[in-house]
């Protein structure tokens, strides 16, 4: 894991190239505290901040091919690099390091831009072809590692995080109202959009080639895709498919344990992370070191299930227990690293957990992220199944009662009161045939934050329609897929790539210089699961049916059969102690500060502040709006500082 940055083009000459590179990569020291590396040429600059994990002795970047005509800096891991290297050596390629990075330049020499098709990994790559004078940017298939770019001042710039661009392009350190509206609706911007003016995100599964004359070619080399409804399954039975899944998952874990430093694992107490640790224990010789997050608030705590797995597997285990006050205190740092408005505080405890992992001497952890998207694990998928069943007889009083089987883990469940449940989950029924049908209730709740925008910002986003805008981005083939396949695709493209892998994944882990690895997002597993029939994902209302089958004999029954409980953390309550706001919270919600930022209406935001301070926040809508406003205000304050520093 690392941070990368650089530029293509000669620019305006106001600052020496090396100084620009140092300024950019210096902002990413947390991603790579083990050393910096640079390559400068005629109109090209590459910079790298290294977190040493593979080939500690000779793996410093940038890495070049034998004749030094191709150079690369790279963030992430190529898990199949051993196999790739063996094949390339047999074809006559000569290597000068033992690193996974070097296979990239050799693959490019052999296959050109199609080199990405051969990679099994999580990566953001910048590659300079000096012979053809072209820069190639590439991002992994599911968006595990970030890569941002901008055109300004006669150059194309790129970096692992926007903060590196802001360090040299203060004009990009401005919030874009439309990007913020997306983040406050979908929980994240839709690639390639970002919340920053002039800054783009390279979408997952894409390669961007930039020629010396500025011409750009953006190519998608991979996407989530599903068979048409009614297509035959490649497996004769669920049991046969579960066996094939077990083999794939074991191999994915084996590959992702490759490192020249110790590898740990997060253990949440749920099926996904427990399954990974059980596979490590049963099928590898790797020592098992596990880490968990516990909450003082019992509503969010899963300590009992975590300890059950620790006893079952006999792991060497550490637990970090956090309070609401801990979350509130850490929140500004979390937002700074997330680099986007957020609607939940859940990333802050994960950032604190990553800090503990680093203190224990670990640089790498495996996580269970991605299993819910790949195998159909979220309540949203089951909720949509019930709502579609209900939509076929919208007058039925009995069909919506099935919703009562969901959200049992919530102290204030939206299905507690039948009338409210029918009203809330009945919204968006006109979209029953739409690919975004499952997401309309979530987006409706999230959009509460938009009601607090200032008049100027309301005008700036007046044409924004979350449903219509998102539908316009979807592939034509989605109309032929099963309903759950459509739900999975939208989830993977919004919540997973934009939020979970970013604000709760890469950014919070790298804040502590920790690399998170996600075996469930091995692209072979994603492709395998995408071909499964819907009933092997959600069987009745049992989520992740086939994954449960594949892991059943490895886990205690109470874990293998446990209903999905999503990871959550206290939200608005984290920012008040006995009705007294934390100092920075009071400052950000002050009328003067709200007017200065110009994003939100001071009177409306003030009323929400008073409501939350009194403990009267109403469900998810108020909590998400409060966190969304606060995070946006903190982000705006940070951008003011960045503009001053870069001036």
Residue located via tokens 């000669």: 10
On whether the CB atoms of residues 353 and 317 are closer than 8 A, the answer is: no
Task: Give the C-alpha separation, 266 to 491, whole Å.
Answer: 23
Of the candidates 2, 172, 189, 612, the residue annotated as catalytic is 2
Report which secondary-structure segment, H or E, holds 220. Answer: strand 216-220
Task: Give the C-alpha separation, 521 to 532, whole Å.
Answer: 16
B/e letters for 610-634, b = 16+ CB within 10 Å, e = fewer, are ebbbeeebeebbbbbbbbbbbbbbb
Helices 81-90 & 102-111 angle (0-180, nearest 10): 50
Q: Is residue 40 helix, strand or coil? A: strand
Residue located via tokens 């040493």: 52
Q: What is the DSSP string of 602-617?
A: HHHHHHHHHHHHTT--
Task: Give the C-alpha separation, 108 to 119, whole Å.
Answer: 11
Instruction: Enumerate residues 6+ apart whose C-beta is below 8 A from 420.
Output: 414
Task: Give the C-alpha separation, 11 to 156, whole Å.
Answer: 9
Task: Give the C-alpha separation, 366 to 374, whole Å.
Answer: 17
On whether the CB atoms of residues 402 and 415 are closer than 8 A, the answer is: no
DSSP state of 2: E
How many Cβ atoms from other residues are within 10 Å of residue 14's Cβ? 7
Task: Give the C-alpha separation, 561 to 572, whole Å.
Answer: 32
DSSP state of 325: H
Residue located via tokens 């970013």: 502
307-314-322-259 Cα dihedral, nearest 10 degrees: -140
Task: Give the C-alpha separation, 111 to 116, whole Å.
Answer: 9
Residue 172 bears catalytic tag: no
- List the structure tokens of 216: 């750009």
Environment class of residue 247 by beta-carbon count within 10 Å: exposed (0-12), middle (13-18) or buried (19+)? exposed
On whether the CB atoms of residues 503 and 340 are closer than 8 A, the answer is: yes
On whether the CB atoms of residues 358 and 640 are closer than 8 A, the answer is: no
Helices 303-313 & 271-283 angle (0-180, nearest 10): 10
- List the structure tokens of 285: 């010789």
User: Which among 386, 419, 391 has a CA at the least distance from the CA of 403?
Assistant: 386
E strand segments, 479-629: 515-517, 576-577, 580-581
Peptide bond into 181 cis (omega under 30): no
Q: Is residue 256 helix, strand or coil? A: helix
Helices 483-491 & 379-391 angle (0-180, nearest 10): 140
Instruction: Enumerate residues 6+ apart whose C-beta is below 8 A from 96.
Output: 58, 66, 102
Task: Give the C-alpha separation, 273 to 263, whole Å.
Answer: 14
Could you list the active site residues?
Answer: 2
């Amino acid at each position: 894991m690392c941070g990368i940055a650089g530029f293509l083009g000669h620019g305006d000459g106001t600052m020496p190239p090396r100084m620009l590179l140092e300024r950019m990569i210096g902002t990413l020291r947390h991603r790579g505290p083990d050393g910096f590396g640079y390559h400068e040429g005629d109109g090209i600059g590459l910079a790298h901040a290294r977190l040493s994990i593979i080939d500690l002795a000779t793996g410093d970047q940038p890495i070049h091919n034998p004749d030094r005509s191709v150079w690369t800096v790279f963030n992430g891991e190529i898990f199949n690099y051993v196999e790739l290297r063996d094949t390339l050596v047999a074809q006559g390629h000569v290597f000068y390091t033992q690193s996974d990075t070097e296979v990239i330049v050799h693959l490019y020499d052999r296959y050109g831009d199609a080199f990405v098709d051969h990679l099994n990994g999580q990566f953001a790559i910048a590659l300079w072809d000096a012979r053809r004078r072209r820069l190639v940017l590439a991002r992994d298939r599911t968006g595990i590692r970030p890569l941002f770019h901008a055109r300004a001042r006669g150059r194309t710039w790129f970096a692992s995080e926007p903060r590196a661009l802001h360090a040299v392009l203060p004009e990009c350190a401005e919030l874009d109202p439309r990007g913020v509206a997306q983040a406050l609706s979908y929980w994240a911007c839709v690639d390639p959009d970002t919340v920053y003016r002039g800054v783009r995100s390279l979408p997952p599964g894409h390669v961007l080639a930039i020629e010396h004359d500025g011409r750009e070619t953006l190519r998608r080399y991979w996407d989530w895709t599903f068979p048409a409804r009614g297509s035959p399954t490649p497996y004769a039975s669920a049991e046969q498919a579960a066996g094939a899944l077990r083999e794939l998952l074991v191999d994915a874990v084996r590959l992702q344990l490759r490192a020249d430093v110790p590898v740990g694992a997060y253990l949440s107490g749920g099926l996904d992370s427990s399954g990974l640790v059980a596979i490590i224990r049963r099928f590898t010789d790797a020592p098992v070191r596990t880490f968990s997050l516990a909450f003082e608030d019992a509503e969010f705590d899963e300590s009992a299930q975590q300890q059950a797995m620790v006893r079952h597997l006999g792991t060497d285990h550490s637990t970090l227990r956090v309070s609401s006050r801990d979350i509130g205190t850490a929140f500004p740092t979390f937002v700074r690293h997330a680099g986007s408005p957020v609607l939940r505080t859940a990333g802050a405890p994960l950032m604190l957990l990553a800090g503990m992992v680093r203190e224990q001497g670990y640089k790498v952890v495996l996580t269970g992220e991605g299993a819910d998207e790949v195998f159909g694990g979220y309540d949203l998928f089951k909720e949509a199944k019930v709502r579609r069943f209900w939509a076929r007889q919208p007058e039925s009083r009995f069909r919506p009662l099935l919703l009562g089987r969901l959200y049992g883990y919530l102290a204030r469940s939206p299905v507690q009161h039948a009338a409210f449940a029918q009203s809330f989950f009945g919204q968006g029924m006109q979209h029953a045939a739409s690919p975004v049908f499952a997401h309309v209730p979530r987006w409706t709740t999230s959009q509460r934050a938009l009601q607090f925008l200032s008049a100027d910002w309301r005008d700036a986003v007046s044409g924004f329609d979350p449903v219509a805008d998102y539908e316009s981005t979807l592939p034509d083939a989605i109309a032929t897929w099963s309903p759950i396949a459509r739900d999975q695709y939208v989830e993977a493209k919004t919540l997973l790539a934009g939020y979970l892998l970013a604000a709760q994944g890469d950014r919070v882990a790298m804040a502590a210089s920790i690399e998170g690895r996600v075996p469930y997002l091995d692209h072979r597993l994603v492709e395998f699961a995408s071909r499964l029939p819907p009933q092997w994902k959600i069987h009745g209302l049992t989520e992740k049916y086939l994954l449960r089958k594949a892991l059943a004999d490895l886990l205690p029954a109470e874990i293998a059969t446990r209903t999905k409980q999503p990871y959550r953390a206290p939200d608005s309550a984290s920012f008040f102690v006995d009705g007294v706001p934390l100092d920075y919270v009071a400052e950000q919600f002050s009328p003067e500060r709200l007017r200065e930022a110009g994003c939100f209406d001071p009177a409306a935001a003030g009323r929400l502040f008073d409501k939350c301070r009194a403990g009267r926040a109403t469900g998810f809508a108020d909590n998400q709006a409060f966190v969304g406003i606060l995070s946006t205000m903190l982000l705006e304050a940070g951008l003011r500082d960045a503009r001053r520093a870069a001036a």
